[in-house]
Each structure stands twice: as C-alpha cells, then as structure tokens.
Structure 1
C-alpha cells in the first residue's frame, strides 16, 4: 500500500461548466481532499496541470476537443505518480480496457454518487490496482489479463513478432529460416527469447498465446 498524503490534491478536467463546478464544490467539502485546479481539456492546459502536481486527476472520457483517455497518456509521461480516474457517461468493457491501457487507475460511470467518487479517490491513492467497481469481477479480471499480455507483446521486437506469427501458423524452424533468410540457429535463438519474454515454456504455449492475441 502507498503512503497517502494528509491532503489529497485533486485536479478536474471536464468540459461542461456545471458538471466541473459541481464536482469541485462537492469534493472541497470532503475532509483530506482539496481541488488544486480545474480545466476544460488536457492538451491546452497541460502546463497548468503539471504545475498543480495533483495526486489525482479526474478526467471526462469525452471532452469537447479531445478524447480524455488518449489525452491521459501525456499525463502518465509527465506526472507518473499522479493517479488518473476516468469518468464516462457511456460505460462499457472496451472503454474500461482502453482507460487501463492508457495508464488510468480507475474507470467510473458519471452517474455514480459523489460518495462513490470519493471512495475511488482514496482507493487509487492506497492501492496499486485498477478500480472499476461497476464491472463484474470476471470482466475486470479479463481486462487485467489482456492488458498485461499486451504489454508483454510490446516487449517483442519486430523480428520476434514475425517469428511468433510463423510459429503460430505451424511453420517448421527450417521453413521459417528459409522464409526470413536467416539460419535455423538464429530462429531457435529468437524462439527462446520470445518464450523468455512472454513467460511461456512450450511450443504449444506459443501457439495458444498467438491465438489468444488474435494473431491467427
């Protein structure tokens, strides 16, 4: 568990004035929370957000000039310790998965009570896990597994991805070497590296992995 500051600084990014002001006023009434700033979007206010150094950034998924989830990627790079909570009027599994992949710590429906938002703020400050209480447990678990798997895929080089695809299509080591113009030893070395990076211990496991990732 992380050490929670005595006062949690929250920054709100919401393009609807009424919603933004209501959220800010409501959160200011909560002990141990202060609103360090508000903005209509991230792109045009990135320096303001950086200067505020918020502990938690609350972002609407659909902003007037940008996609809130995509814009959050800049925050993750600039303020890696800031927790991001995505609010969405349209709540589904795909958006939750995109939020997690972008680096968000929580994904919540905009229809929740302010008390649930407060609970989410404290949760993301204490726990290092994705928070989406409105999703069924099995759906959330599936999202977490797929996100972890996607990160592993990013660790593979272009050549390793090529070889993994050919292995999944059941080409032999000799055939892969011929197709790529490399030696069989090089193919075997790449295969070993792929298995090590993905944490897979068998040839069958590689094929199953590729199938799971929709490569075949």
Structure 2
C-alpha cells in the first residue's frame, strides 16, 4: 500500500508548517498540497485526489463546511477531517452532516493526528463523545420528522435504504454506479453516525424508520 496522500486546508501558515513537520516524519503519509481557503481546497481536491483532507472550519471566503459539502459530493472517496479548537463546536456537527468523517482538535498531539488520518484513510469515522451524543440525539429526534436520519447525507440515506432491503455492498455499488471502496466508506460513516456496530443493527434502525420496506 502506498503513502496516504494528505491535503492540508488551513489559512494559518504556522499550522501548515507544523503539519508538514509531523506528516513528513511518518513513512506512510505525505502532504500533496496546501490550501489557504475553501475555494482553493475544492480546486486542489479535484486536481490532486488526496486520500485525506485536513480541513479548517473557519477560513476566508468559502468556509470548511461548504467546501466539505462540495468535495464529498464530487468525490466521496476523499476522507475529510475537520480542524477545530473545540469538540462541541456547532460547526463540527454541521460539517459531519455535510460529509466529513470526523475531526481533529487543533491542540491534539502529532500522534493523535496521525492516528486519525490513518483511520479515516482506512474508511473509518472519528467522532468524540460530545459529537457522538449529539448525533445520537439527532437520530432520536429524526423519528418524529418526515425525513428520517437528518444527520445522514442524501447519498448515505440512499445507501442505508438499500442495505435495509438486503443489498450487499457489491449490489449497492452496482445499483448506484459507485466503486465498492466508495460504498464501504459510506457504510462506515453511516454506522458511526447512527451509533451502530454492524449491518444488522443498521437494518433494524432503518426499518424502524420506514426505510427498506419497498420491494427491490
């Protein structure tokens, strides 16, 4: 397996310098580009196709949340980790709903940041306890709305509905014209957002919310 290709999107030069030092010292990670605002992050994500993007939430012009939405819609294989000062920042929650797979606190040490990057590159989602509780609360409230699982993106809801109908990852990929890797990444994100540990639990949650009842 090759190096994990990382794009750093942050408008603070000192932070980008620190990331270059941390990632440059690891044999399995490399920085392939740096962006100083949301528009540049979207452009470089399309050009460079990084495995992981470290995305600052607060950047001039287009912010990290909107940039995340654009990037994940265009290329869902890209794992985005939000950079934030506080775990309970409302923006973190909004970014996760926009498609980010987790977040890294700006005060985290290098080892923790590297661990998060590797996890997201492997298709996992990284949520701390505060955000996880809010996601769970959001899920509970969604049962009272006409749109189930508002914490999921539209694509994630489509995939969850197919899973609830018994589709395998391969069948989902064929149905939605996605790669198997992309589907696996989506499924990992769905499990994390719903707070479930396996496919069976996800199917139960989905069917309780009315998804997957129609015949294929």
TM-score, scaled to structure 1: 0.62
Q: Indicate the SS of the match to 1:150.
A: coil
Q: 2:67 maps to which residue? A: 71
Q: Distance in 1 between matches of 2:82 and 2:91?
A: 10
How far apart are residue 126 of structure 1 and its match? 2.2
Structure 1 position 104 matched with structure 2 position 100: yes
Aligned to 1:83: 79
Alignment deviations for residues 3-23 of structure 1 (CA, whole Å, 9 cap, x no partner): xx4311000000011111211
State the Cα RMSD in Å.
3.2
* Conserved 8 A contact 2:9-2:55: yes
Please, which of 112, 115, 119 is the counterpart of residue 115 of structure 2? Answer: 119
Q: Show the 5 A alignment for 1:30-179.
A: 30-92=26-88, 94-128=90-124, 130-133=125-128, 135=130, 138-139=133-134, 141-142=136-137, 149-150=149-150
User: 1 CA distance for matches of 2:153 and 2:54?
Assistant: 29
- SS of the counterpart of 2:7? strand
Larger Rg: 1
Contact 1:124 1:131 survives alignment (8 Å): yes
Alpha-carbon shift at residue 108 of structure 1 (Å): 2.2
Q: In 2 relative to 1, CA 153–55 (structure 1 residues): closer, same or farther, beyond 3 Å?
A: closer
- 20 and 152 in structure 1: CA distance in 2 versus 1, 3 angstrom threshold: closer
Q: Render the CA deviation track for 1:156-210: whole Å, top value 9, x for unaligned.
A: xxxxxxxxxxxxxxxxxxxxxxxxxxxxxxxxxxxxxxx989418xxxxxxxxxx
Distance 2:23 2:106 in 1: 15
8 Å CA contact 2:81–2:104 kept in 1: the answer is yes
Retained in 2: the 8 A contact 1:12–1:38? yes
Partner of 1:199: 210
In the alignment, structure 2 segments of 5+ residues that lack a partner are 143-147, 156-205, 212-216
Q: List runs of 5+ in structure 1 lacking aligned partners.
A: 156-194, 201-216
2:7 and 2:50 in contact (8 A); partners too = yes
Q: Secondary structure at the match of 2:47?
A: helix
Contact 1:93 1:139 in 2 (8 A): no
Structure 1 residues 153 and 120: CA distance shift in structure 2, 3 A: closer
TM-score with structure 2 length normalisation? 0.62
Alpha-carbon spacing, 1:196–1:143, altered in 2? closer, same or farther (3 Å): closer
Quote how far apart the aligned CAs of 1:135 are.
3.0
